[in-house]
Amino acid sequence: MEERTRIAGPVRGRIAGAHPGPGPAVRAHGRPDGWKGVGAVNLKREILHKVHAVPPLPEVVFKLQKYCNDPNVSYAELAKVIEVDPGLTTSLLRLANSAYFGCEQSIGSVQYAMTRLGLKRVYQIVLAVCVAPMSRTPIRGYDLAPAMLWQHAIATAMASEYLAQELGGADPADAFTAGMLHDMGKIVLGNFVNVDMDKIRQAMDQGGIPFDEAEREVFGTDHASVAAALLQRWQIPARIVTAVRYHHHPSACPDPEPLLDIVHIADVLCRDVGWGMGADALFYRFDPTSATRLALPPDIAEQTMAEVSIGLEGMMGFFQTLGAAQGQPAAQPVG
């Protein structure tokens, strides 16, 4: 695959100067000439069935999500829900006191974490702790070594949050969550890609299309759509699901919001730097429409990557230590 024309290359210099219009990012999703995606419908059905094999999130995640926007929620009562799980409580407090999430005063209880950091931030941390074991598996089809998917997820989450803080238009907490979850479909689709990589290469070569469109040619779906299906099962808010579903093709979204454009830009930047790169990383297209809609300032790419660089190593180290402390082996790929 290395000999193929790379669709994506260094884009940091192009992001702020993007012009209006879809450009090369939004090719019609039709099949390339001469290509027949034999069995794609059946494969799609099997893939979506595998979504239900992914472990459900703990009930505490849903309860936190439900009460995130409730001004009358009792932090004391909600803290008890988390404290039932000692492992989760310990992980939450350790991460809440980390350089990235922490505050000036030491956080010693779940209720105090909610008071100091806010319920949305606590939800982010709990979700990250619950999702991390699934993301540390090697993903064979995408040539992702253990923890590479998680590195890209955390980097994109941090970049998305920073962009939302700097640009406005989207809740930084939503941006972090969407960035963290945007590639979760790969844990389901990885084994399918591993088996049918030759067909994906053929689709890319014959049609001149990016990796995700080749996935659709072969499987009838792609990793972004599979991620969206998984997030719907996890009852993640619809605005985040939409951002994940269209993160490679923002111009294809019928009702785009800034959150979608932010995640697209963050994903492109993190792949450009090389955080969590797999075999597919250079075979996607940058959609300049996102940069235009966000009216990105000239230095935002460099500022974002500098901000992520400061915190990424510490975050990755925390989750590596967390996995070892909990005795968690890398989760096995679904399929």
Dihedral in degrees, nearest 10, Cα atoms 23, 24, 28, 32? 160
- What residue spans of 168-222 are helical by DSSP H? 172-181, 186-195, 197-207, 211-219
Q: Which long-range contacts (CB under 8 A, 24 or more apart) does 196-201 make?
A: 197/141, 201/1, 201/4
Instruction: Please identify every stretch of the chain with a pLDDT value under 50, giving residue numbers as ranges.
Output: 1-8, 19-38, 329-332
Burial of 83 from C-beta contacts in 10 A (0-12 / 13-18 / 19+): middle
- The pLDDT, as a whole number, for residue 46 is 94
Q: Which two tokens stand for residue 64?
A: 């936190």
Query: Phi and psi at residue 69, in whole multiples of 5°?
Result: -110, 15
The DSSP secondary-structure symbol of 327 reads T
What pLDDT score does 191 carry?
94
CATH 1.10.3210.10 is the classification of domain 12-56+141-321: yes
From residue 3, alpha-carbon distances to 6, 24, 77, 214 in Å are 8, 21, 58, 17
Q: What is the pLDDT of residue 330?
A: 46
pLDDT at residue 21, as a whole number = 38
